[in-house]
Chains A and B, each alone.
Chain A
Amino acid sequence: DIQMTQSPSSLSASVGDRVTITCRASQTINIHLNWYQQKPGKAPKLLIYVASSLQGGVPPRFSGSGSGTDFTLTISSLQPEDFATYYCQQSYTTPYTFGQGTMLEIK
């Protein structure tokens, strides 16, 4: 199975900050990488698919990049509603494994 490793596991930041979360795959996954946001008590929400495509309705302050094994999710200017847990997921081959999550907290 492909292992997905996110860093950091948690992050404290302030409104207006630029934040980057990284995700590394244990083998190449081309661009088959998705990012999700999850808030407490809610189902995850798809933010980015195929590494850099923004899901409809997601604010453009979210962006994704990368290919092969290394990927990043960037939030250009944090808003109060962005404090949540973020997960990457590879969809290159089943099982479509997730990273362990990055909890983004208010500083």
Chain B
Amino acid sequence: EVQLLESGGGLAQPGGSLRLSCAASGFTFSSFAMTWIRQAPGKGLEWVSAISGGGGSTYYADSVKGRFTISRDNSNNTLYLQLNSLRAEDTALYYCAKDGSVVGATLYWGQGTLVTVSS
């Protein structure tokens, strides 16, 4: 059974940093691309970033490019998202996610970790 468990959320000040983690289990982690998707309170879904199975290719939404960095540790089955230069508009529930059988169709979701950016 695929399990994704996020951690690392919390309160950060504008301009501050946080690192989110996602512990994955139930599949061969290094064989699959992974994704972060966020949802601001009461708002819709926003695709944030993705990384290939080997970690060599990364992709970002324009809204986070240059501020967020996605990475992975395949030896520990863990996905990361480094959030720098945080803004109030980054306040959201951040989901770690994995595709199903088709690339881009997100089948597996974690429970999310909440990031709040406020002074």
A49 touches B45 (CB 8 A): no
Chain A: residues with Cβ within 8 Å of the partner, total of 24
Closest chain B residue to A94, Cβ basis? B59
Q: How many Å from the CB of B40 to the closest CB on chain A?
A: 12
Q: How many Å from the CB of B84 to the closest CB on chain A?
A: 19
Q: B61: CB under 8 A from chain A?
A: yes
B59 touches A34 (CB 8 A): no
Known: A98-B45, A100-B44. A55 touches B50 (CB 8 A): no
Q: B105: which of A1, A87, A91, A98 is its contact (CB, 8 Å)? A: A91
Question: Looking at the complex, which of B8-16, B17-25, B75-83, B96-104 is the stretch in contact with chain A?
Answer: B96-104
A55 touches B62 (CB 8 A): no
Question: Which residues of B lie under 8 Å from residue A36 when comparing CB positions?
Answer: 45, 106
Q: A95: CB under 8 A from chain B?
A: yes
Q: B46: CB under 8 A from chain A?
A: yes
B106 touches A44 (CB 8 A): yes
The CA of A55 and the CA of B105, in the complex, are separated in Å by 10
A43 touches B104 (CB 8 A): no
B106 touches A1 (CB 8 A): no
The CA of A94 and the CA of B51, in the complex, are separated in Å by 11
Known: A43-B111, A43-B112. A94 touches B50 (CB 8 A): yes
